[in-house]
Structures are given as C-alpha cells and as structure tokens.
Amino acid sequence: MYARIGMGCEFSKFSACCRGTEPNRPAPEAQIDENEEKRKADNLPPFHEYTIDQLRKATSGFSVENIVSEHGEKAPNVVYKGKLENQMQIAVKRFNRSAWPDARQFLDEATAVGQLRNERLANLLGCCCEDGERLLVAEYMPNDTLAKHLFHWETQPMKWPMRLRVALYLAQALEYCTSRGRALYHDLNAYRVLFDDEGNPRLSCFGLMKNSRDGKSYSTNLAFTPPEYLRTGLLIQFLSPPSCFSSSSNFVFLVKIHVLRTGLVLIQIRRCLTSRVTPETVTYSFGTLLLDLLSGKHIPPSQALDLIRNRNLQMLTDSCLVGQFSDHEGTELLRLASRCLQSEPQERPNPKSLVNALIPLQKDSEVPSYVFMDIPHAAAAASPLSPLGEACLRMDLTAMHEVIEKIGYKDDEGVATELSFQMWTNQMQETLNSKNKGDAAFRHKDLKTAIDNYTQFIDVGTTVSPTVYARRSLSYLMSDMPEEALNDAFQAQIISPFWYIASYLQAAALFALGRENEAHVALKEGSSLENKKNTN
C-alpha cells in the first residue's frame, strides 16, 4: 500500500511518503530504562486474586457514581473506579455474567497478563472469579483517555511533541508485550490509551485479555477493519429484505441499502470474516492511531489513503498543529502510518521497527508530560490543608471531634434511607432512641456508651447513615481501637463515596496503625474532596 500510494504523487510537504524505500541508515535501538522499569514493578503488588467482598468495598458497592466507562456488545462490561484498603486507587472491570463461563480459563488468562509489569502499561493487578463474577483489577489512570484529549478536548488541543511521545510510548508498550509473549492486543484504539498522574500515556492491560469467550476480537466498525478480513466472502443481493438469514460467530455482515428509481429497495449483504487478532492486525490498528494523532480526527484508513492520492493533505493534518512541526516530521509520521496500513499483512512493520522509527522524531524529551498536557503535577497540586486536615495530620482527635459534632448530620442529606411506616412502631422508636443516646454520649465524650448505642442502631440496619459510622469510628479512635475505626471509616465511604470526612478518618486510623504512606494518601484524598465540595 505504501509503495502504491506514492505512484504519481508530486506534492511538497509530504512528498517523502511517496518514496518506496527508507534511507539506509541504522535505526537506534529502543531504550526503556531497565532500572526505571524494575522500580515500577517493585512498587506494584504481585498479581492477586481478590474476593468479591473486597472489590465491592473498594467500589462502594459498585456504585453508579464510580462508573468510569460502560461498553461492549459481544462481552458487555463496566469499569469502576475503586480504592483498596491500602489506599491504592484501582480500576475494576466487571464483565457481564454470560462472559467467561469457564472460571479456570478466565483465571489462567488473567494470571498470564498479570505477570507483565511495565511503566508503559496500566498494569493488571489481579482478578476475581467468585460466585459467578468475572472481574479484572488494574492500576487506575486518573487523566482520561487519548480519545478525550484528541477528539473531545475542552481547553487546548494536544501539542505535537506530546503526540509523538504518545506514539513512541505505545510502540514501546507493544514491543514489551511482544517480547513477553503477549503480541496480541484486542481492539487497539484511542480509548485504550490512558494517562497516569504524571500525564504519561499508558496502554490499558484490558486489551491484552481476550475480549470474548471464544478468543476472537470482533470489529465494531468495518471502516477500521484490516483489509484481509474484507477480501473473503460472498456478496448477496436481494430485491426485497430477506425474511431471515443466519449469522455465525465466524462471520459479520456488511449491509448496504439502495433505493432504486423504481421504488424497489436493493439490499446488499456482504459476509466477511470476523477479525481474529494477529500481530499484523495490531500493527494495522497502530497505524490508525498514528492517523488519529496526526489529524486529531478518527479518519478511516481507506479515506486517508484517498486523501493522500488526491493530495488533499489539509484534511489529514490537524489545523491546531500549524507551525508546531516540520515537513520532515509530518512526512515521517505519515509514512510510518502508511507502512502500518499496508494491504499485505506481512509487509507491515513489527513493534521493534516502530519504536526505532519513532525515537528520532521525539522533540523536547526533557519536558515532562504533565507540562505538555497542562495537568497539575501531583507533587505541586497539593493544596494547603484545611483546619480539619491539619487536625488529622496532627492526630488532634479532640479538634476532629469538635468538627464532626458541629456539622451534625447535614452530610447525610440525600443519602438513601430504608425508613418506612415502621419507624413509628415501638421497636423503631427504641432504635432511634439508641441513636439519640449515642449522640448525647458522643457529645460528652462518653465513648463506651456512644459505641454501644451506635452499635445497637447500626445492627438493626433500618437506616443508612455515614455520620453514625463516622461518629463511631472517631469514638473507636479515641478509645485506642484503630482497626475498628478504620473499618467504620471505610463503611462511611461505601455509603457516601465522595464524603471527605470518611477519608480523613481513614487517614487518622492509618496514622494510628503506623501505616504512614497509606495515611498520607488518604489525607490527600480527603483534602481534595473537601476542596471540591467547597468550590461547588
């Protein structure tokens, strides 16, 4: 395809893409700092099987508020944001119950992917296949997807040096996976590229898992399907819609509808082989990503090649990039995309060749990604602590008690309750009395009485109240019972996922337990949630 598109081309800015051969110079070897890679791996826990209760707790009961994405037709799934007890943020992918019926197959596949550890990946940390559930647990990436930054940006478009960095980092991720025997990546697209807290692009580990139980990757948009899957098949024509036709897991149907002048409807149905992922199809998908980076749009490859042949290169270049790159840089990136989109799979470059081609194109390598992305740096983004945050850091439980007592139950507003007409029965009145007695004891720091009465109220289970859990948590803390305090602080967050008081109490309990690093993470999260609440 690359050699063919160059025939007869005589344009200046991208003329080099019309040459059929590359300069005969050795490409530099791909360089990924092995010490940095080891450091990243050392900071991550080994692959782990989680229980459904752990993940339910981490995601606040799979709360709708924690949904990050929801998609998939052949293998429907939902991705949730979550937080483990050690304060590590995670992404939890929960498959539809009909996916992965074989638990052993799911566990084996997840375990294999979970052995990978690399700074270019959003790494897989664990899984869960308990009680019919199929869940994957990965590192959480807080700064959106490449699709968001390229196609749906709000403040500024992605800068050219950052686009080149994205291309290189993705190629390095694919090279690493290939070197570890995981060359197949399913459904590689701009939504699979995530940005970490430093603004660096990472390739989602979820694409390394088969995305259906039969191990095939189904193309949802035939315009982006590699050409080898559209060559085979038969073309069937009907003068009226067929009453039915059967499909197969091995085929998809490409349908075109034409209204003839006679009023008849002509329906063309083309049966095409579905996309079994191969290393060559992954490279083809990488080529479409290079087009995305160059154009800032999701242009079907066939359309891009037509634009090249017709010399309509303006449509291939993001107008926001004017003046940001040289003719040589644009030419080389387009030429590399063309090589990836070759119609013959064996003519497409492998990941190592992609890395070697992209390294010389890098610009401003010393500039951190968060600067290019205009993302506040984690180290510089910390806001001054509020009085409550300072009290938590100092472990001033008396000051924390004053704040929690002062705000009362106003943060329970909007929290779902299970109260019914039974609240007026003697039993319910007794239950409410236990809460009121607990409040009175909490006010006067009669901690044992407060704990006992709050426990009676909680055990009945008729009312959901994060504040009751928060008050009992602080009572436990002031009674030198940090483990119990931590459990209640987590329970308060499950009920109200974005309540800053719950995070502060977790931090205080973790400080009391000597878990300093985790405590500082919880403290930072509490401060962030409090600032968001005060600015809304």
Q: Long-range contacts of range 30-34, CB-CB < 8 Å, 24 or more positions apart?
A: 30/172, 30/175, 30/352, 30/355, 30/356, 30/359, 31/359, 32/118, 32/119, 32/120, 32/172, 32/176
The predicted structure's pLDDT at residue 249: 42
DSSP state letter for 225: S
Task: Provide the token pair at 246.
Answer: 């059967």
Structure confidence at residue 257 (pLDDT): 53
> Same domain for 54 and 107?
yes
Specify the range with the lowest mean pLDDT, choosing from 43-52, 209-218, 249-258, 332-341. Answer: 249-258
**Residue 333: pLDDT over 70:** yes
Confidence of residue 268 (pLDDT cuts 50, 70, 90): low
Per-residue pLDDT band for 10 (boundaries 50, 70, 90) equals: very low
CA dist., res. 223 & res. 458, Å (int): 56
Residue 237 belongs to some domain of the structure: no
How many whole angstroms separate alpha carbon 297 and alpha carbon 190? 11
Of 381, 402, 435, which residue constitutes the final position of a domain?
A: 381
What SS3 string covers 178-189? HHCCCCCCCCCC
Structural domain harbouring 490: 387-414+423-535
Highest-pLDDT range among 40-44, 72-76, 83-87: 83-87
pLDDT of residue 24: 35
User: Do residue 361 and residue 436 come from a single domain?
Assistant: no
Query: What pLDDT is stored for residue 412 in this prediction?
Result: 81
Residue 161, pLDDT score: 95
Whether residue 504 is predicted with pLDDT greater than 50 in this model: the reply is yes
pLDDT confidence band for 123 (50 / 70 / 90): very high
- pLDDT on residue 27: 37
Beta strands in 123-242 (DSSP E): 124-128, 135-139, 193-195, 201-204, 235-238
What confidence tier does 72 reach under pLDDT thresholds 50, 70, 90? Answer: low
Integer Cα distance of 200 and 194 in angstroms: 8
User: Residue 232 pLDDT > 60, yes or no?
Assistant: no
Over residues 79-113, the pLDDT tens digits come to: 999 999 888 899 999 988 777 888 898 999 999 99
Predicted confidence at residue 425, as pLDDT, reads 55
Same domain, 460 and 337: no
157-206 pLDDT tens trace: 999 999 999 999 999 999 999 999 999 998 899 999 999 989 999 999 99
Angle between helices 516-535 and 500-512 (to 10 degrees): 160
d(CA 211, CA 219): 11
CB proximity list for 317: less than 8 A, separation 6 or greater? 294, 295, 330
The CATH number assigned to the domain holding 71 equals 3.30.200.20
Average pLDDT, the chain: 79
In the set 187, 318, 439, 488, the catalytic residue is 187
Quick one: angle between helices 397-407 and 387-394, nearest 10? 140
pLDDT of residue 421: 42
Please name every residue paired with 273 in a beta bridge, in sequence order, or none if there are none: 251
pLDDT exceeds cutoff 60 at 392: yes
75 and 178 assigned to the same domain: no
* Residues 348 and 486 reside in one and the same domain: no
Q: Could you say which of 381, 405, 439 is where a domain stops?
A: 381
pLDDT at 311: 65
> Cα(76)–Cα(90) distance, rounded to whole angstroms?
20
What is the CA angle 328-329-330, rounded to 5? Answer: 95
Together in a domain, 453 and 509: yes
CATH number, position 294? 1.10.510.10
Residue 466 lies in a domain: yes
Is 452 catalytic? The answer is no
- Whole-number pLDDT of residue 382: 54
pLDDT of residue 258: 52
Residue 433 belongs to domain with CATH number: 1.25.40.10
**Burial of residue 514, with CB atoms counted within 10 A of its CB: 0-12 exposed, 13-18 middle, 19 or more buried:** exposed
| pLDDT number for residue 131 | 82
* Mean pLDDT of the 370-397 span: 80
8 Å CB contact between 466 and 496: yes
pLDDT of residue 485 exceeding 90: yes
Please indicate, yes or no, whether residues 318 and 349 belong to a single structural domain of this protein: yes
In terms of Cα–Cα distance, which of 166, 307, 303 is closest to 224? 303
Higher-confidence residue of 418 and 53: namely 53
In the chain, the percentage of residues whose pLDDT exceeds 70 is 73
Q: What is the pLDDT of residues 294-330, one digit of tens each?
A: 999 888 887 877 776 676 677 788 888 888 988 788 8
Task: Determine the pLDDT at residue 427.
Answer: 57
Question: Mind listing the pLDDT tens digit for each residue in 125-139?
Answer: 999 998 889 999 999
8 Å CB contact between 252 and 219: yes
- pLDDT, one tens digit per residue, over 352-365 is 999 999 999 999 99
Select from 194, 210, 170, 211 the least CA-distant residue to 89: 194
Answer yes or no: do 301 and 157 share one domain. Answer: yes
Residue 479 pLDDT exceeds 80: yes
31, part of any domain: no
Look at residue 33 and tell me if it is in a domain. no
**Domains held by the chain: number:** 3
Q: Which of 79, 105, 140 is the last residue of a domain?
A: 140
Average pLDDT over residues 264-288: 71
pLDDT tens string 273-282: 445 788 999 9
> First vs last Cα of the chain: how many Å apart?
54
pLDDT at 410 over 60: yes
Please say if the pLDDT value at position 518 is more than 70.
Answer: yes
- 317 and 373 housed in the same domain: yes
Whether residue 186 lies inside any domain: the answer is yes
pLDDT at 209: 86
